[in-house]
Amino acid sequence: MSDHSADMMATVAVQTTVAPAVARLRAVPKFDPVRHLARAFPEKNVSMQELGFAEDVGVSPVAVSGPFQLFTSEAVNIMRDEIFCVPDKYKFSSNIAKSQLRGYAKDCAPFTWDAWNHPETIALISEIAEVELVPAMPYEIAHINLSSKSKEDAQQELAKYQEHQRRYQEDEGIGGCREVVETPIVGWHTDSYPFVCVLMMSDVRGMVGGETAIRMVNGKVLKMRGPSQGCAVIMQGRYITHQAMRALGAQERITSVTSFRPKSALLKDDTELRTVRGVSDLNELYYDFAEYRLKLLEEQIQHERERVQAARKAGGEFATAQHKQFLGNVTAFSQQSSHELVDQCEVQKGYIEKVDFPDAAIDI
């Protein structure tokens, strides 16, 4: 099937979904954590140490969580209805993703906005991450990645995979046919924000693949299974090189990604905008970024001022080296903020800068 035909079919599929979604949204309840938050915990987390990282890398000992039920089915269905009613100005595509929704939640999806910003949701995610987190900024609430295909195409690719599996088993892997699901959707990369929480919004029963491959410091690769509908995983993606493996056999695959950063201004914030500038309303993105970075800077200065005042009151000797280190840190922080605010005329819309990470073999 041609790309044009596939796009037409995806458009028809979305159009047939919009009308009933609009009707259902007329009676949407407000987000209620008792009713809509699942409050489950992953069976196991993978630590940064297990991946081989030094203790000073990242903002938490947790690298990636196992899948856990985050929202109830009712909550996910309401969120799905909201995304099918989002105006075109919030829709983006790029060289690595054909269909995304960004920056829409605050204006167009009140249930989604309240769900991700609710203190109990944030507290649950923070507990799993083992560090107090907050959403990175309003623009990064519930970023949507959407892919769809016809039922016929989904069945054909699954049948092709099953045939490859049969041949692989018959020739004991000599033909290398397993590569059909070992091809990534996006190559090795790191994220822009310290943590991400990825929520699966599609029914992926019968889907093959879709794992996240995580690169360990020693070059080996760990594959984490993808979540089912309503389930999520959290990952310290700013520091971990990873890639999303291709998923076969599903007509749609919709994920909702909310980015997080440490709440404390005293913890490092290594946020960069490299992977999001080209798929954003830069005005909104830059305002959000500038506002929260200035707030962190203000809190850092306030904390240091209080420390200096307390030391003086106690009659201690002025800690010159300590204060100069602080000044160096806030200077570096400000320079990093400036570096990320690339002039709007220099940003190429729809283009995500790629970082060249050497390839790594993925064990079956």
The answer as to whether 147 is a domain residue is yes
pLDDT value of position 2: 46
Cα gap 189→243, rounded to integer Å? 6
Q: What is the mean pLDDT of each run of 10 residues along the chain (364 residues)?
A: 45 52 70 96 96 96 96 96 94 85 96 98 98 98 81 58 57 48 66 96 80 91 87 96 78 90 97 95 98 98 98 96 98 98 95 65 48
pLDDT value of position 20: 65
Element (H, E) at 65: strand 62-65
Question: Do residues 62 and 51 make contact, with C-beta atoms less than 8 angstroms apart?
Answer: no
The answer as to whether 157 is a domain residue is yes
The token pair that represents 310 in the structure block = 């307390």
The answer as to whether 271 is a domain residue is no
Residues 6+ apart with CB under 8 A from 331: none
What is each CA distance from 182 to 147, 202, 226, 340, in whole angstroms? Answer: 18, 21, 14, 33
Cα gap 173→177, rounded to integer Å? 7
The answer as to whether 347 is a domain residue is no
| DSSP three-state, residue 59 | coil
The answer as to whether 102 is a domain residue is yes
Beta strands in 157-235 (DSSP E): 195-200, 208-209, 212-215, 221-224, 231-235
Cα gap 296→293, rounded to integer Å? 5
Cα gap 68→134, rounded to integer Å? 19
Q: Which residues pair with 255 in a beta bridge?
A: 145, 200
Cα gap 253→153, rounded to integer Å? 14
Q: Would you tell me the crossing angle of helices 110-117 and 119-129 to the nearest 10 degrees? A: 50
Cα gap 78→285, rounded to integer Å? 26
What is each CA distance from 254 to 34, 80, 185, 251, in whole angstroms? Answer: 25, 9, 14, 10
pLDDT value of position 329: 97
The answer as to whether 10 is a domain residue is yes
pLDDT value of position 358: 56
What range defines the domain where residue 246 resides? 3-265
pLDDT value of position 181: 46
Alpha-carbon dihedral angle through residues 139, 146, 80, 132, given to the nearest 10 degrees: -40
Q: Which residues pair with 47 in a beta bridge?
A: 62
Question: Do residues 169 and 100 make contact, with C-beta atoms less than 8 angstroms apart?
Answer: no
The token pair that represents 113 in the structure block = 């906005």
**Whole-prediction pTM:** 0.85
Q: What is the CATH number of the domain that holds 141?
A: 2.60.120
Q: Provide the number of structural domains found in the chain.
A: 1
